[in-house]
């Protein structure tokens, strides 16, 4: 989707602000959000592409104002509700509980014992995305390509700044799960993935900085033969 998350090349954000001696977590709740995100993923409630797309669906002004873990919280809350594991009503009641008792421990509203999680927790949850489908790649390193000018309503990993642009295949990465399908319950639709090299002048015209290139990892269906 042409959302505000697709930031490449946008202007007006000012300098890159760095924080001296930044802590790993700025508040305990950030680690709690990270643990919940991993738990939902590890249990198969959602995949990473659905997770990214859930964040992309935040309202643009909220997206830009949110911190990283606030975005994660918005994304997983949406997914747990959409997947039917948690209802809006349950959430509202619990939010009211903690609004009224901000110092209560997280287990305070629970009655009875805490069930053992059905899947052991893996704090480093990732997903394996390389597939051996035997698909023959359409392009080879050195081939000229042009990216398609697409504007799908759903998830895509073809950044807006690189659509309709001429590039050169730098290398083949193998066959990878296709996020544009995988984020929408349409299966894996794995296809060849390439590192594609773009000259900065192709992307930014005469405003490009000197002697610059961008390499982007792009799936085969984003690409047409170039000349």
Partner 1 sequence: MGKNHPNVDPYIVSRVRALESLLLEKGILAPDAVDRVVQRYESDTGPMVGARAVARAWTNPVYKRILLEDTRTALAEFGLDYNMLLVTENTPAIHNLVVCTLCSCYPWPVLGLPPTWYKMPAYRARAVSEPRAILKEFGVDVPAEREVRVWDSSAELRYMVLPERPAGTERLGEAELVPLITRDALIGVAHVQPPSPPRSTSP
CA distance 37 to 76: 6
Residue 104, Cα to own-chain centre: how many angstroms?
33
Written as six digits, the tokens of 135 are 């698909």
Site string for partner 1, 63-92 (x = CB under 8 A): -xxxxxxx--x--xx--x----xx---xx-
**Given the complex with partner 1, which of 169 and 216 has the nearer CB atom?**
216
Task: Give the residue, chosen from 130, 140, 144, 150, that forms a contact with partner 1 under the rule CB under 8 A.
Answer: 130
With vertex at residue 182, the alpha carbon angle to CA 176 and CA 183, rounded to the nearest 5 degrees, is 130
Helix axis angle, 28-42 to 48-56, nearest 10° = 130
Which window, 98-106, 132-140, 141-149, 184-192, contacts partner 1 (CB under 8 A)?
98-106
Residue 82 CA from chain centroid, whole number: 17
Of 187, 53, 186, the residue nearest 133 (C-alpha)? 187
**For partner 1, which residue of 149, 152, 186, 217 counts as binding (CB under 8 A)?**
217
Among 54, 169, 175, 214, binds partner 1 (CB under 8 A): 214
HEC string of 28-63 equals HHHHHHHHHHHHHHHCCCCCHHHHHHHHHCCCHHHH
Q: Assess 10 for contact with partner 1 (CB under 8 A).
A: yes
Stretch that binds partner 1, among 139-147, 184-192, 211-219 (CB under 8 A): 211-219
Count of CB atoms within 10 A of residue 223's CB?
A: 21
16 or 227: whose CB is closer to partner 1?
16
Binders of partner 1 in range 132-151 (CB under 8 A): none
Which residue, 61 or 227, is less far from partner 1 as judged by CB?
Answer: 61
Enumerate residues 159-178 that contact partner 1 by CB under 8 A.
Answer: 159, 161-162, 173, 176
> How far apart (Å, rounded) are the C-alpha atoms in residues 187 and 173?
20
**Checking DSSP bridges between strand 191-199 and strand 166-176, what pairing results, if any?**
antiparallel
Answer for which of 46, 47, 50, 55 binds partner 1 (CB under 8 A) is: 55
User: How many chain residues bind partner 1 (CB under 8 A)?
Assistant: 101
Is there binding between residue 110 and partner 1 (CB under 8 A)? yes
Smallest distance from the beta carbon of 148 to partner 1, in angstroms? 15
> Which of 196, 125, 123, 121 minimizes the C-alpha distance to 157?
196
Task: Select from 106, 132, 134, 227 the one that contacts partner 1 (CB under 8 A).
Answer: 106
Residue 107 C-beta: closest distance to partner 1, Å = 7
């Amino acid at each position: 989707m042409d959302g505000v998350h697709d930031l490449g090349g946008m202007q007006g954000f000012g300098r890159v602000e760095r924080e001296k001696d930044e802590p790993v977590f700025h508040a305990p709740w950030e680690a709690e959000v990270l643990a919940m995100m991993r738990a939902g993923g590890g249990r198969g409630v959602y995949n990473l592409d659905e997770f990214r797309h859930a964040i992309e669906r935040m309202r643009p002004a909220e997206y830009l104002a949110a911190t990283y873990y606030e975005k994660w919280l918005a994304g997983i809350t949406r997914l747990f509700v959409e997947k039917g594991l948690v209802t809006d009503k349950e959430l509202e009641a619990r939010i009211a509980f903690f609004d009224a008792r901000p110092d209560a421990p997280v287990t305070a509203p629970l009655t009875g014992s805490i069930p053992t999680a059905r899947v052991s927790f893996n704090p480093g949850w990732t997903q394996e995305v390389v597939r051996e489908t035997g698909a023959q790649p359409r392009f080879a390193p050195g081939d000229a390509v042009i990216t398609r000018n697409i504007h799908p309503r759903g998830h895509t990993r073809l950044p807006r700044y690189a659509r309709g642009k001429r590039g050169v295949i730098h290398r083949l990465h193998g066959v990878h799960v296709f996020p544009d399908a995988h984020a929408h319950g349409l299966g894996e639709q794995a296809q060849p993935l390439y590192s594609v090299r773009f000259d900065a002048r192709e992307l930014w015209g005469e405003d490009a900085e000197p002697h610059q290139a961008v390499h982007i990892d792009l799936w085969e269906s984003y690409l047409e033969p170039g000349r």
